[in-house]
Structure 1
Amino acid sequence: MRTKALRVSHAFHSPLMDPMLEEFCQAIAGIEFAVLQFGFVSALTGSLVTDEVCSPEYWVRHVREAVRFADAVRVLDAEGVTSYLELGPDGVLSAMVRECLAEESTAVAVPALRRDRPEAASAISAFAHMLAQNVVADREAFFAQAGAVRVDLPTYAFQHQPYWVSTAVGSVGDVTSAGVGGIDHPLLGAVESLQRGTPRRSTPIGDRPVNSVIQPAGRPTTRLSDQGCCDDWLNPPSTRAPRSRTPAAGRASSRA
């Protein structure tokens, strides 16, 4: 179990608050508490509450007694709540919500304010997160003082007109219009004649002669067909002449 000392000015929810409870009760006795208009889960009782929150005694108990935060979150989860908005100066409780829920829960907890961020930016970010979670929000009230107006979005970006070549997945396709000849092959769609150099020698392998060629000087190998893909098809490895690693005659190699 992890513990951490709270950075607070007073030891709330502890016996150290006893000397101020009577004075606190008198201070809030003249406040008129409104009847709840929505469901309310109390962190004092860890359950749904109704009219008891309208009495000063309830709030005096809230100062002195333990906080049943985990119980309150579990009750909300059982009621089907999937989005939590924290109204406070920082995002401490939002992080604690995740610790109170099951690992497979997909609920989202968002703080309305953050200590190191401007209030307006934090509130707008929280509002956007709630909308992304399909939470019903009063958008008109949100933009009432901003002077925002509705505009028509451009349609060209949403016309869903594809520009990709319509070719079935796994199909070779017909590329003969590119100036190359067709070929009956499951992977290659066309064949291109390789610009071979001058034959140097004919090396027999079994009963099949294979010509070994010299690549023309200054001609870079840039096409895929020159890099072994088509070469393997035209000259299978079983019939290709073995390459000698012996330096050519008349050339001397030296290393420092």
Structure 2
Amino acid sequence: GDPAALDRLLALLEPEDVRVRRIAVDYASHSSHVDSVRDELLEVLAPVRPRSGDVPFHSTVTGEALRTTELDAAYWVRNLRRTVEFTTAVEGLAADGHSLFVEMSPHPVLTMAVEETADDSLSAVGSLRRDDGGPRRFLTSLAEAHVRGADIDWAPVFPGAHVVDLPTYAFQHRHHWLDGATARPAVADHPLAATVERLADGDGALLTGLLSRSTAPWIPDHAVAGDVLLPGTAFVELLLRAGEQVGCARLEDLTLQAPLPLPGDGSAVRLQISVREPEESTGSRPFTVHTRPAGSAPDSPWT
């Protein structure tokens, strides 16, 4: 619009905390302001000699397919002067069977408009992004186009690579990735103790887990003076499970030095059960149970 009218509009919007920004141009595209530079544009663009192209071209000036030999100086002046027939052009492409749109630009600004133009059969992806235009961004865009049905030539991206057949059904255990299971603690197969690990510096074991009112919904039934405490039977169950890992099937003695309250806000506490080496005289093994809030700092104390 006219600069004076825009100044009045900005004066009304800024006090309302509406985000506004003036575009640094001397005229307003797609309006009568273009008429003032029409003759200059025709003169500057006069040397343009359009040629025939192999790729179908849909114009946002006409809203339909157009021969590229018609893209002369007069066409580009109309392109700057007339209304953008974006919706009509996208609908025409969709009618011709195109369902995936790739916006080749420094930053995607039209992808959402493309997807909102027609039904859910259309999808659009960008290529580069503002402040994110390196090879990683471009490969990410290639992957986004690939999962949406684009026929990507991956040979230049992965030289020497080849396609392998995936397992034909879920129970054909042939992995196509590195197996890191030996580097992880074993699963303890217990609702309260998640993992078990044999100690590296001796004949002992360490069980770990997370306890909360949600992971063990029966615990809130055990309340003392309004505080939910882990019952002694749960300690016995955990210690028997720890004993199984080192060949001990009987619990001789359990001393609770402090109760284990579970936070009322639903947060969890981290649990460690340490089983030590057997005593020479009796063969029995000492153990300790420690807990602390799950979100504690690494150097915070254990109870």
TM-score when scaled to structure 2?
A: 0.45
Task: Quote how far apart the aligned CAs of 1:138 are.
Answer: 4.1
Shift of residue 158, structure 1, vs aligned partner: 5.2
Instruction: State whether residues 52 and 58 of structure 1, in contact with CA within 8 Å, keep that contact through their aligned partners in structure 2.
Output: no
* Secondary structure of the structure 2 residue equivalent to 1:95: helix
Q: Does 1:122 align with 2:133?
A: no
Gaps of 5+ in 2: 1-18, 175-232, 241-303
1:24 deviation in Å?
A: 1.3
Is 1:9 aligned to residue 19 of structure 2?
Answer: no
Letter paired with 2:172: Q
CA deviation vs aligned residue, 1:125-145 (integer Å, no higher than 9, x gap): 2222222223234445x54xx
Hey, what's the Cα distance between the residues in 1 that align with 2:87 and 2:160? 42
* Residues 1:221 and 1:81: Cα distance change in structure 2 (over 3 Å): same
Structure 1 residue 84 and structure 2 residue 101: aligned?
yes
The answer for the alignment partner of 1:220 in structure 2 is 236
How far apart are 1:64 and its partner, in Å? 0.8
Q: CA deviation at 1:62?
A: 0.3
Identity %: 24
Which one is further off, 122-131 or 60-69? 122-131
Which aligned pairs between 1:73-222 and structure 2 lie closer than 5 A? 73-102=90-119, 105-140=120-155, 142-143=156-157, 149-151=159-161, 161-162=172-173, 220-221=236-237
Question: Aligned letter for 2:150?
Answer: V
Counterpart residue number, 2:57:
40
Structure possessing the higher radius of gyration over alpha carbons: 1
Tell me the number of residue pairs that the alignment of Structure 1 and Structure 2 aligns: 160
Structure 2 CA distance for partners of 1:115 and 1:218, relative to 1, 3 Å? closer
Change (3 A) 1:116 1:14: same
Give structure 1 stretches of 5+ with no counterpart. 164-216, 224-256
Whether the 8 Å contact between 2:50 and 2:69 is mirrored in structure 1 is no
Label 1:51 to 1:152 Cα distance change in 2 as closer, same or farther (>3 A). closer
Please list the CA deviations of residues 3-41 of structure 1 after superposition, one character each: whole Å capped at 9, or x if unmatched.
x97863332111112222211122122122221212111
Deviation at 1:149, TM superposition (A): 2.2
Shift of 1:150: 1.0
Say whether the 8 Å CA contact 2:48–2:72 is kept in structure 1.
no
- In 2, the alpha carbon distance for the partners of 1:52 and 1:33 equals 5
Q: State the Cα RMSD in Å.
A: 3.4
Shift, 1:106, TM fit: 3.0
- 3-state SS, counterpart of residue 109 of structure 1: strand
The match for 2:266 is: none
Q: Give per-residue Cα distances to partners, 1:167-201, cap 9 Å, x unaligned.
A: xxxxxxxxxxxxxxxxxxxxxxxxxxxxxxxxxxx
User: Secondary structure of 1:35's partner?
Assistant: coil
Question: Which stretches of structure 1, 4 residues or longer, exceed 6 Å deviation after superposition?
Answer: none
Structure 2 residue identity aligned to 1:110: V
The residue type paired with residue 124 of structure 1 is: L
Whole-Å separation in 1 of the counterparts to 2:83 and 2:234:
84
Describe the superposition over 1:104-137 as per-residue Cα deviations: whole angstroms up to 9, x where unpaired: x232100112114234333222222222223234
Partner amino acid for 1:82?
S
Structure-1 separation of matches of 2:159 and 2:42: 48
Distance 1:219 1:27, change over 3 A: closer
Q: Select the residue among 66, 81, 93 that pairs with 1:49.
A: 66
Distance across 1 between alignment mates of 2:134 and 2:99: 24
Q: In the aligned structure 2, how far is the partner of 1:82 from the partner of 1:71? A: 15
Query: How does the TM-score come out when normalised to structure 1?
Result: 0.53
Question: Who is 1:229 aligned against?
Answer: none
